[in-house]
């Protein structure tokens, strides 16, 4: 999973991601858990044996070194085990988080762009992150407690067999109850609620988004109350489900404890017999070992506690996995387009119209043009004619109908990474990353020198602003361009695009937010200067010097 | 050193906790009962064990007592868990209601806190992050004191030595907890922030995925993700090793104390204690009693240690939630109108009298005195940041803490007339407000079902008929968040149709043409000219999109609003 071959995520793949790490954590945890049980058991045995020896008058010959040492050893093992388990299991958890994130990343890289947009919008991404956080806890919340419980039961079984062979049966039944029946019962009782709750929380959030995005209209119409009541209703449902789940968790705990109680009762019952109208221990059984067994059972009871809530984590992880795997399904559609393209001599575009894979796009008019040599094309057209759509499709962001021929060979543009290498595209939406200003610019040209960066900043009239910043190029920018104005963000994106110096430059409204001096400077640089591309295709509602030398293509 | 002064987050959580004082009180009493049943169970079991070992007989009474105590404790724990969970749910769900209500009153100002998607995370995930704090941490804080104290007292009559072992280790535990725990808490907090930073980075890169693809930088981004994650794993493990030391210390003390008690008792029973050879200081019964209580003595502390992260999570969430409440709504819900008595206005529909507005030293709206008569259309322009949007917010009734007076038909705009006033308004912002649903549902938003004829009429007037008719499902075509296939101009036209459909006679437009190219903008403005004739209109628009048909032109500058002829 950590490698780049995309495959479905399953619980098995989670376990096998770093099996060694998990195993180490599990083993250390087992040592700790067993030591905790044994500490009580051995102590109990030691006390009773000592008490008995003293009563029998054999105290002086009693070897108290071995049990004493054992008690101390168990104390140390328990401490070390608990500590070690925490350290190693968290190490494993972080490793899992890393590889799961990379998995998600790979799926998304392989997903066609038009679907990436849909995934990016709104809360979906947030949900993905939440799902990841849920899934990485699965080994910790489900696998490990169950493993400890199992080992605890096995140890108890061994001790029980040693004390009295017939005790094996109640212990086996007890183990089956605790490890299989109760989890199964919890599943039956609550799994549908877990799924419902997950579905409901998605529904609730999209309702929230939908209602809040129309908050003002709803408020001034006086209908906000009505809409928000439905939001409250969903919340109320969620609350009931949560209550139910919490109830089931507690009930399972209660049942688990009662089972332990019954086991201890049965143990006593099987080891006792009636003599002279009073209960006495069966002579063949050692009372000291019986005491140890009962204490160990109490210890195992503690181990069983976390299993009661494991079903919840199990259900949530299952839903999370299912959702993550949906990413993979859309990623499968991405075809392999790995052959690189020759250098461009001419580009013929026929009956070309972008399509959103959606409504209304079939109505968009198509466009025809041919460019060769050094050419500039301005796409013009009425509002809604699909200028931006055409540019996005030309850049490979969108699907399209029609045909594009590169050096008279048909080429598929959509999501073709080789085509992307030839293209620098400035979309309408500015994207600023939560990195330093420098890192944001270097995305355009990773090996650009500082001089190059300042050069392009100067061109766009940003140099003064950057120099005035206390940390200059190393200023950290907020996510989604929160720290810069819309105009600045736009110009930073343009700077990044110009730095790429790709043969084909596609610009969607490049002059938005630029003053006329900058517009002139940019035009100069594009036409004769440093940043002159082989082909320039652009859309702009601001008139500029570029227009005179451009072929106008009308949609 | 740390002072006992509560941080604002702690105060916030404490106030929430107080809402469920009764339930938490009950939880405390249950805790008391639980402590007692622990002691009784130990008594009974010890008696059973001692007689079983020494005499081979089984004291049924003691066994029943222990069993009853065990079952009683189990049931008590069940009830206690239920009450805690209910308390936590009540707190969280009522808090959520409050937050949503608060956001509603903030109106357009909510976006200063975060985008809607971010707000939804706060409303749902962040509030749910308080769960563990209220359902586990808070109840545990009481137990952590009470149970050890009860056990300490219960031990006195049996053995002074055991009492001292407990009494001496307990402060030591606390001492080490404070020493290691303080460092660990800091480390924990750091780890928490780094983790959320990492989460942010992942989100950020993912949001920009399309751009990274365009730039051919997805591989580098992947490397970056992988590298920071690995580095983070390394550094965090260092931090965590320290953080877990605090739980490790507890574990150590608890284990060592059990071992010490067991050894002391075992040797004592064998009469081999170095300082009193030949004398047994305790009976076997007492020895078992002490051994059974030893783990229980440390158990609450250990649990508190493992629930500690719940507190951290809750405090982090509290910070985010407080931020929402810190943004005070200044609509009528918050202000009691204590303005000057009514004065007859000049008969205009809307009249501003020296309206200005500044919050925390920042001028949000410079001085404005002007009036708009019924049916008048006003073009408002000015530099960005001069307060044009603030003025809209005031007119929409979301901000009332301004200075000066706003008169509607000569009357101060007050809460009693706000509903009526708002119903007259149509609101057309820069990006039209859309809900998920069909075009028709969006047009009818907040209006209820409309007649097909009205709908058609509005669409025709707003010049939407052609393109809506061209869609495969007509006005039943759904509008998605992304990729509608409708252009910005078409969306803006639809919002004009919505305004027409609502029969509102006062239209407020906040830069309806920004984001449109000049041709489209001109066409939209022309449509607006036609359909808004006879309505009262206040339209904000840049110089680049002049509103030629306006009756009045206002220019907003830093120092005030200038009314041009």
Q: Which residue has the higher pLDDT, B238 or A444?
A: A444
Phi, psi angles (nearest 5°) of residue A354: -70, 155
Q: Do B482 and A118 touch (CB under 8 A)?
A: yes
B556, containing H or E segment:
strand B552-557
- C-alpha span between A92 and A338 (Å, rounded): 35
Cβ neighbours of A384 in B, within 8 Å: 467, 486-487, 489-490, 520
Q: Do A87 and B244 touch (CB under 8 A)?
A: yes
Interface of B with A in 295-324 (CB under 8 A): 295
Interface test mutation site (partner A, options B120, B273, B479, B543, max chain A beta carbons within 10 A): B120
- C-alpha span between A1 and A104 (Å, rounded): 10
The pLDDT, as a whole number, for residue B465 is: 85
The pLDDT, as a whole number, for residue B30 is: 94
Cβ neighbours of A101 in B, within 8 Å: 202, 225, 229
Per residue in A288-335, pLDDT tens? 889 889 989 998 998 898 888 888 888 889 888 888 888 777 765 555
- C-alpha span between A398 and B103 (Å, rounded): 37
Q: Do B473 and A359 touch (CB under 8 A)?
A: yes
Most confident among A66-70, A188-192, A254-258, B181-185 (mean pLDDT): A254-258
- Quick one: pLDDT band at residue B396, thresholds 50, 70, 90? confident
- C-alpha span between B410 and B8 (Å, rounded): 44
The pLDDT of B360-366, averaged and rounded, is: 70
C-beta of residue B94 within 8 angstroms of C-beta of residue B69: no
Interface of B with A in 317-356 (CB under 8 A): none
Interface test mutation site (partner B, options A61, A120, A216, max chain B beta carbons within 10 A): A216
Q: Is the pLDDT of residue A111 over 60?
A: yes
**How much is the mean pLDDT over chain B?**
82
The pLDDT of A230-234, averaged and rounded, is: 89
The pLDDT of A87-105, averaged and rounded, is: 87
The pLDDT, as a whole number, for residue B515 is: 67
- C-alpha span between B107 and B390 (Å, rounded): 12
For A287, which of B56, B213, B481 is closest by C-beta distance? B56
C-beta of residue B382 within 8 angstroms of C-beta of residue B542: no
The pLDDT of A195-224, averaged and rounded, is: 84
| Among the listed residues A427, A367, A511, A542, the one whose alpha carbon sits nearest the alpha carbon of residue B521 | A542
The pLDDT, as a whole number, for residue A325 is: 85
Q: How far is B343 from chain A (nearest CA, A)?
A: 26
CA distances from B416 to A447, B27, B104, B326, B419 (A): 64, 45, 18, 26, 7
Q: Do A433 and B477 touch (CB under 8 A)?
A: no
Cβ burial, residue A484 (10 Å; 0-12/13-18/19+): buried
- Among chain B residues, the shortest Cα distance to A202 is held by B124
Percentage of chain A exceeding pLDDT 90: 17
CATH topology (fold) of A346-554: Rossmann fold (3.40.50)
Most confident among B291-300, B353-362, B377-386, B466-475 (mean pLDDT): B291-300
- C-alpha span between A268 and A276 (Å, rounded): 18
User: Quick check: B502 contacting A, CB < 8 Å?
Assistant: yes
Q: How far is A199 from chain B (nearest CA, A)?
A: 14
Radius of gyration, CA atoms only, chain A: 35
Contact partners, residue B275, CB within 8 Å, separation at least 6: none
- C-alpha span between B516 and B488 (Å, rounded): 7
- C-alpha span between B506 and B518 (Å, rounded): 26
Copy the structure tokens of residue A451.
Answer: 């001089």
Per residue in B415-439, pLDDT tens? 778 888 888 888 888 778 887 788 8
Q: Do B226 and A102 touch (CB under 8 A)?
A: yes
The pLDDT, as a whole number, for residue B181 is: 62
- Quick one: pLDDT band at residue B336, thresholds 50, 70, 90? very low
Q: Is the pLDDT of residue A2 over 60?
A: no
Most confident among A113-127, A523-537, B181-195 (mean pLDDT): A523-537
Most confident among A284-293, B253-262, B399-408 (mean pLDDT): A284-293
Per residue in B435-483, pLDDT tens? 778 888 888 887 878 888 888 888 888 888 888 887 777 888 877 654 4
3-state secondary structure of A350: strand
Interface of A with B in 382-401 (CB under 8 A): 382-384, 386, 388, 395, 397
Q: Do A281 and B52 touch (CB under 8 A)?
A: yes
Q: Which residue has the higher pLDDT, B562 or A117?
A: B562
Q: How far is B56 from chain A (nearest CA, A)?
A: 5
Q: Do B490 and A281 touch (CB under 8 A)?
A: no
- The sign of the CA dihedral B238, B240, B242, B244 is negative
Copy the structure tokens of residue A379.
Answer: 């796409």
Q: Is the pLDDT of residue B66 over 90?
A: yes
- Quick one: pLDDT band at residue B384, thresholds 50, 70, 90? low
The region of weakest confidence among A152-161, A207-216, B482-491 is B482-491
C-beta of residue A40 within 8 angstroms of C-beta of residue A298: yes
User: Quick check: B116 contacting A, CB < 8 Å?
Assistant: yes
CATH class of A11-332: mainly alpha
The pLDDT, as a whole number, for residue A180 is: 93
Place of tokens 């890169």: B205
Per residue in A328-349, pLDDT tens? 777 655 555 556 777 878 888 8
Percentage of chain A exceeding pLDDT 70: 91
Strands B425-428 vs B506-510: parallel, antiparallel or unpaired? parallel
The pLDDT, as a whole number, for residue B381 is: 84
Q: Where in chain A is the domain with CATH 3.40.50.300?
A: 346-554
- C-alpha span between B545 and A501 (Å, rounded): 34
- Per 3-state DSSP, what percentage of chain A is helix, strand, and coil (rounded to 5)? 65, 10, 25
| Among the listed residues A172, A183, A156, A165, the one whose alpha carbon sits nearest the alpha carbon of residue A300 | A156
End-to-end CA distance of chain B: 66
Q: Do A360 and B467 touch (CB under 8 A)?
A: yes
Q: Which residues pair with A426 in a beta bridge?
A: A507
Per residue in A393-438, pLDDT tens? 888 888 888 888 888 788 888 878 888 888 899 987 788 888 888 9
The pLDDT, as a whole number, for residue B244 is: 76
User: Quick check: B235 contacting A, CB < 8 Å?
Assistant: no
- b/e code B319-348 from CB counts within 10 Å (16+ = b): ebbeebeebebbbbeeeeeeeeeeeebeeb
The pLDDT, as a whole number, for residue B89 is: 94
Q: Do B49 and A420 touch (CB under 8 A)?
A: no
3-state SS record for A434-451: CCEHHHHHHCCCCCCCHH
| ipTM tops 0.85 | no
User: Quick check: B227 contacting A, CB < 8 Å?
Assistant: no
Cβ neighbours of A363 in B, within 8 Å: 467, 470
What domains does chain B contain, in order, with CATH numbers? 1-147 (no CATH), 350-564 (3.40.50.300)
- Quick one: pLDDT band at residue B3, thresholds 50, 70, 90? very low
CA distances from A217 to B313, B401, B451 (A): 36, 22, 20
The pLDDT of B164-170, averaged and rounded, is: 82
A–B: how many Cβ contacts below 8 A?
Answer: 409
- Count CB-CB contacts under 10 A for residue B69: 20
**How much is the mean pLDDT over chain A?**
83
- Quick one: pLDDT band at residue A117, thresholds 50, 70, 90? low
3-state SS record for B287-312: HHHHHHHHHHHHHHHHHHHHCHHHHH
Q: Which residue has the higher pLDDT, A529 or A181?
A: A181
Q: Is the pLDDT of residue A361 over 60?
A: no
Q: Where in chain A is the domain with CATH 1.20.1560.10?
A: 11-332
For A64, which of B125, B270, B470 is closest by C-beta distance? B270
The pLDDT, as a whole number, for residue A549 is: 82
Most confident among A7-16, A169-178, B140-149 (mean pLDDT): A169-178
User: Quick check: B543 contacting A, CB < 8 Å?
Assistant: no
User: Quick check: A282 contacting B, CB < 8 Å?
Assistant: no
- Quick one: pLDDT band at residue A122, thresholds 50, 70, 90? low
Interface test mutation site (partner A, options B214, B309, B481, B501, max chain A beta carbons within 10 A): B214
Opening angle at CA B463, ends B462 and B467, nearest 5? 125
The region of weakest confidence among B33-37, B142-146, B340-344, B498-502 is B340-344
DSSP state of A330: H
The pLDDT, as a whole number, for residue B7 is: 81
Q: Is the pLDDT of residue A457 over 80?
A: yes
Copy the structure tokens of residue A44.
Answer: 């109990």
User: Quick check: A208 contacting B, CB < 8 Å?
Assistant: yes
The pLDDT, as a whole number, for residue A174 is: 95
The pLDDT of B115-137, averaged and rounded, is: 86
Copy the structure tokens of residue A397.
Answer: 């962001």
Interface of A with B in 498-527 (CB under 8 A): 500, 509
Cβ neighbours of A239 in B, within 8 Å: 89, 93
Most confident among A250-259, A316-325, A392-401, B273-282 (mean pLDDT): A250-259
The pLDDT, as a whole number, for residue B224 is: 86
Q: Do A102 and B225 touch (CB under 8 A)?
A: yes
The pLDDT, as a whole number, for residue A332 is: 58
The pLDDT, as a whole number, for residue B135 is: 92
The pLDDT, as a whole number, for residue B192 is: 67
C-beta of residue B437 within 8 angstroms of C-beta of residue B398: no
Q: Do B483 and A102 touch (CB under 8 A)?
A: no
The pLDDT, as a whole number, for residue A153 is: 94
Q: What is the DSSP string of B188-249?
A: HHHHHHHHHHHHHHHHHHHHTHHHHHHHT-HHHHHHHHHHHHHHHHHHHHHHHHHHHHHHHH
Q: Do B216 and A363 touch (CB under 8 A)?
A: no
């Amino acid at each position: 999973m950590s490698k780049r071959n995309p495959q479905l995520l399953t619980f098995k793949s989670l376990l096998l991601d770093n099996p060694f790490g998990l195993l180490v954590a599990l083993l250390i945890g087992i040592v700790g858990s067993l030591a905790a049980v044994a500490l009580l058991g051995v102590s109990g045995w030691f006390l009773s044996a000592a008490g008995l020896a003293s009563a029998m008058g054999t105290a002086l010959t009693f070897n108290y070194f071995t049990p004493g040492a054992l008690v101390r050893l168990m104390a140390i093992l328990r401490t070390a085990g608990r500590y070690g388990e925490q350290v190693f299991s968290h190490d494993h958890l972080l490793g899992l988080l890393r590889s799961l994130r990379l998995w998600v990343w790979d799926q998304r890289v392989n997903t066609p762009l038009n679907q990436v947009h849909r995934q990016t919008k709104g809360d979906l991404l947030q949900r993905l992150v939440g799902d990841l956080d849920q899934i990485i806890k699965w080994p910790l919340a489900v696998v490990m407690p169950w493993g400890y419980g199992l080992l605890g039961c096995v140890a108890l079984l061994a001790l029980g067999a040693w004390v009295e062979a017939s005790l094996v049966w109640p212990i086996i039944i007890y183990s089956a109850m605790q490890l299989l029946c109760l989890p199964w019962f919890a599943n039956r009782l609550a799994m549908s609620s877990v799924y419902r709750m997950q579905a409901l929380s998605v529904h609730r959030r999209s309702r929230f988004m939908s209602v809040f995005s129309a908050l003002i209209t709803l408020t001034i119409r006086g209908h906000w109350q009505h809409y928000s009541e439905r939001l409250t209703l969903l919340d109320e449902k969620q609350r009931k489900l949560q209550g139910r789940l919490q109830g089931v968790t507690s009930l399972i705990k209660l049942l688990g404890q009662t089972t332990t109680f019954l086991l201890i009762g049965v143990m006593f019952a099987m080891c006792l017999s009636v003599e002279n109208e009073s209960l006495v221990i069966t002579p063949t059984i050692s009372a000291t070992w019986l005491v140890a067994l009962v204490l160990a059972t109490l210890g195992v009871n503690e181990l069983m506690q976390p299993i009661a809530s494991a079903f919840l984590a199990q259900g949530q992880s299952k839903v999370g996995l299912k959702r993550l795997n949906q990413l993979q399904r859309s990623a499968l559609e991405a075809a392999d387009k790995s052959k690189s393209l020759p250098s461009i001599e001419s580009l013929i575009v026929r009956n070309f119209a972008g399509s959103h894979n959606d409504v209304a796009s079939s109505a968009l008019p198509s466009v025809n043009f041919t460019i060769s040599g050094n050419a500039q094309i301005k796409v013009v057209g009425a509002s809604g004619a699909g200028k931006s759509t055409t540019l996005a499709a030309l850049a490979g962001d969108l699907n399209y109908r029609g045909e594009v021929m590169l050096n008279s060979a048909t080429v598929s543009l959509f999501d073709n990474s080789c085509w992307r290498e030839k293209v620098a595209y400035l979309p309408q939406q500015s994207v600023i990353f939560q990195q330093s200003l420098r890192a944001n610019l270097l995305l355009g040209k990773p090996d650009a020198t500082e001089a190059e960066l300042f050069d392009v900043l100067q061109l766009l009239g940003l140099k003064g602003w950057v120099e005035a910043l206390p940390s200059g190029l190393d200023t950290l920018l907020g996510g989604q361009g929160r720290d810069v104005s819309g105009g600045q963000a736009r110009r930073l994106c343009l700077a990044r695009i110009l730095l790429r110096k790709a043969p084909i430059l596609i610009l969607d409204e490049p002059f938005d937010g630029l003053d006329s001096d900058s517009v002139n400077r940019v035009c100069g640089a594009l036409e004769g200067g440093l940043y002159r591309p082989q082909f320039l295709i652009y859309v702009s509602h601001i008139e500029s010097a570029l227009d005179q030398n451009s072929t106008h293509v009308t949609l | 050193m740390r002072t006992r002064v509560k941080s604002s987050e702690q105060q916030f959580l404490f106030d929430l906790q107080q809402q469920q004082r009764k339930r938490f009180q009950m939880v405390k009493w249950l805790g008391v009962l639980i402590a007692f049943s622990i002691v009784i169970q130990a008594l009974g079991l010890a008696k059973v064990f001692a007689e079983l070992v020494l005499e081979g007989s089984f004291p049924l009474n003691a066994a029943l007592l222990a069993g009853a105590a065990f079952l009683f404790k189990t049931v008590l724990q069940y009830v206690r868990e239920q009450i805690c969970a209910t308390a936590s749910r009540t707190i969280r769900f009522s808090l959520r209601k409050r937050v949503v209500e608060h956001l509603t009153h903030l109106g357009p100002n909510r976006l200063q806190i975060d985008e809607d998607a971010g707000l939804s995370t706060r409303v749902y995930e962040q509030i749910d992050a308080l769960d563990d704090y209220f359902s586990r941490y808070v109840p545990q804080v009481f137990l952590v004191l009470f149970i050890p104290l009860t056990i300490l007292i219960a031990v006195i009559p049996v053995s002074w030595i055991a009492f001292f072992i407990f009494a001496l280790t307990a402060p030591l535990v606390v001492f080490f907890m404070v020493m290691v725990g303080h460092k660990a808490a800091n480390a924990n907090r750091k780890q928490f922030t780094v983790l959320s930073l990492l989460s942010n980075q992942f989100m950020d890169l993912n949001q920009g995925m399309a751009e990274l693809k365009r730039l051919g930088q997805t591989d580098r981004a992947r490397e970056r993700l992988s590298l920071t994650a690995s580095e983070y794993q390394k550094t965090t493990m260092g931090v965590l090793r320290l953080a877990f030391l605090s739980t490790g210390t507890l574990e150590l003390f608890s284990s060592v104390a059990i071992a010490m008690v067991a050894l002391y008792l075992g040797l004592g029973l064998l009469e081999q204690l170095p300082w009193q050879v030949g004398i047994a200081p305790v009976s076997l019964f007492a020895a078992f009693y002490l051994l059974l209580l030893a783990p229980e003595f440390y158990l609450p502390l250990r649990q508190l240690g493992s629930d500690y992260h719940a507190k951290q999570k809750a405090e982090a969430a509290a910070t985010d939630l407080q931020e929402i409440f810190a943004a005070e709504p200044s609509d009528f819900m918050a202000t009691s109108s204590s303005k000057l008595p009514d004065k007859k206005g000049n008969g205009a529909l809307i009249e501003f009298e020296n309206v200005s507005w500044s919050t925390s030293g920042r001028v949000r709206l410079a001085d404005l005195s002007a009036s708009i008569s019924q049916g008048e259309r006003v073009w408002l322009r000015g530099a960005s940041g001069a307060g044009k949007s603030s003025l809209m917010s005031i007119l929409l009734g979301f901000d009332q803490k301004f200075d000066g007076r706003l008169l509607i038909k000569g009357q101060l705009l007050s809460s009693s007339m706000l509903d009526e006033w708002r119903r007259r308004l149509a609101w057309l912002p820069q990006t039209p407000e859309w809900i998920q649903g069909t075009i028709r549902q969006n047009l009818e938003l907040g209006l209820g079902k409309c007649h097909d004829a009205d709908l058609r009429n509005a669409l025709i007037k707003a010049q939407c008929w052609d393109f809506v008719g061209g869609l495969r499902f007509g006005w039943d075509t759904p509008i998605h968040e992304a990729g509608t296939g409708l252009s910005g101009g078409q969306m803006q036209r639809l919002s004009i149709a919505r305004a027409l459909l609502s029969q509102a006679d006062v239209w407020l437009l906040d830069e309806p043409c920004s984001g449109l190219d000049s041709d489209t903008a001109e066409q939209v403005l022309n449509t607006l000219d036609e359909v808004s004739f006879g309505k009262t209109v206040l339209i904000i628009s840049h110089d680049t999109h002049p509103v030629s048909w306006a009756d009045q032109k206002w220019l907003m500058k830093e120092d005030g609003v200038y009314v041009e002829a």
